Amino acid sequence: MYDKTTLDNGLRIVTANMPHTRSVTVMLYYGVGSRYEAKRLGGISHFIEHMVFKGTERRPLPQIISEAIEGVGGYLNASTGLETTNYYAKVPSKHFAMALDVLTDMLDRPLFKPDDIEKERQVIIEEINATLDSPSDLVGELHSELLWGDQPVGRPVGGTRESVGAATRDDLLGYLKSHYVPPNLVVSVAGNIQHEEVVEQVNKVFGGYPRGEQPPAFSAATQPEARSRVLLHQKDTEQANLVMGLPALSAFDPDRYKLDLLNAIIGDGMSSRLFVELRENMGIAYSVGSYTRKMSDTGEFGIYGGMDVERAKDSIVAALAEMAKIKREPVGEDELNKVKEYRKGGMVLGLEDTAGVAMWGGGQELRYGRIYSVDEVTAELDAVTTEDIMTMANRYFVGDRLALAVVGPYDNEAEFQELLKIE
């Protein structure tokens, strides 16, 4: 499905030809994110993501950049994570060359004007303030801090007001130079386009760049101490927001598909056990679900929810009861087959669109150095048994590893601490 070319300087290009479509999505994936940052530079990857939209030597104003894409009905965006940063544009196929030119121009010759840096610094600080004012967003950051402590994986991707406020232009340019190098970049393109054309266009921009030194790897995550812990953020709200989770497996763990299906059973979707029990049957939570977050060397499983402040403890107890139940009672074949089809169907539907196909190819090539096919992932999912699900639940659902963060009008951590049992 994908074609791949590696330039002499290490830059990788992957494409997926989709001749039935009338669009093309171009994504530039860089192997850099908040886990690579020293504490002093917290949020600098995200800061750079903002700044490349502010102007280039050829397109000195941000509106010139945005109008080029939006003027043909397309859209332009970017995203910074823990380990990757991507920039992407989706346009009608006939405008492929223009979209690639805009994106490569943004990353090849950004201006980083001092006035723009100061303006964008304030924009990012307002983003941080908005998160602090939003209980449902804040509780996720508090949970990461509680679970992982003072290490990059536990810090906000966007940094703090202090770290963003202190970053200098030299910091931004130095970080860009050291991390945005050809071997750390995958250009992923999907749509009605030919591989050779993409390679030719990318080579014109980046082919002459030297390989450069490989950026230093991030430090491996330190696993948290095996003890349950609670963090209450007292806030006078009508609704409680909580995240309860524990360490789990990495993106490279051969059991990751088993955990995906366990997660689907517990809390992924409106047919999941948590949603049916807590919202439909008990009526004690407005929003509830579970998630997995996989990183290169570690990961986590978590449960989130929003509910009336009077029902927070009941919701925690009910969620833990579902975790305990799946440890001791085998999942039925019908339920397991249902979530397999749910996961496979979601994967296939996500690959109907050029953006989904470009993201699949670029993200996997950057992380794994190869691209897994749908058939390969389907086979992995189909091979999971009911015994595997119980084994995974008993392996990870351990009470003394739970971390619970709650935002709401509470001040007695001991009352919440005593709830953290999976029996």
Q: Which two tokens stand for residue 118?
A: 């100061």
Is residue 27 within a helix (H) or strand (E), and if so which, with residue range? strand 23-30
- In whole angstroms, give the CA distance from residue 393 to residue 258: 10
49 annotated active-site: yes
Long-range contacts at 274-280 (CB < 8 A, ≥ 24 apart): 274/303, 274/319, 274/322, 277/318, 277/322, 278/305, 278/315, 278/318, 278/319
Q: Which two tokens stand for residue 376?
A: 């390969």
Strand runs (DSSP E) across 270-417, as ranges? 287-294, 299-308, 403-408
Q: Is 257 in contact with 381 (CB distance < 8 Å)?
A: yes
Which residue intervals of 248-311 are DSSP H helices?
256-267, 273-274
Which amino acid type is present at position 269? G
Encode burial over 111-124: b for 16+ CB neighbours within 10 A, e otherwise: bbeeebbeebbeeb
- In whole angstroms, give the CA distance from residue 73 to residue 62: 17
Catalytic residue among 37, 49, 120, 145: 49
- In whole angstroms, give the CA distance from residue 273 to residue 88: 36
Which backbone phi and psi does 238 adopt, to 5 degrees? Answer: -85, -25
- Residues designated as active site: 49
